């Protein structure tokens, strides 16, 4: 997975990010908590370390 530095902090995150807003609200009803956790865990297992939660 390609990584990029985030700002001046030196923190490195995956170049590919995951939007998480629709897991709890947004365009429809919230996902089941277990489904949401499984989705996030699957992303992390695949190397995604940048999650956008806003």
Question: Could you say which DSSP state residue 18 is in?
Answer: E
**Domain range summary for the chain, segments of one domain joined by +:** 3-52
Tokens 């806003």 correspond to what residue?
54
- Cα–Cα distance for residue pair 21/3, rounded to 1 Å: 22
- 4 in Cβ contact with 15 (< 8 Å): yes
Write down the pLDDT at residue 22: 83
- 9 in Cβ contact with 43 (< 8 Å): no
Q: Can you give the pTM of this predicted structure?
A: 0.78
What would the pLDDT profile of 6-54 be if each residue is shown by its tens digit?
899 899 999 999 998 888 877 788 889 999 999 999 999 999 999 998 7
Write down the pLDDT at residue 53: 83
- Cα–Cα distance for residue pair 19/25, rounded to 1 Å: 12
């Amino acid at each position: 997975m390609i990584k990029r530095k985030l700002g001046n902090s030196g923190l490195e995150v995956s170049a590919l990010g995951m939007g998480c807003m629709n897991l709890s609200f947004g365009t429809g009803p919230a996902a089941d908590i277990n489904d949401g956790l499984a989705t996030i865990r699957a992303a992390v297992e695949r190397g995604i370390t940048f999650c956008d939660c806003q």
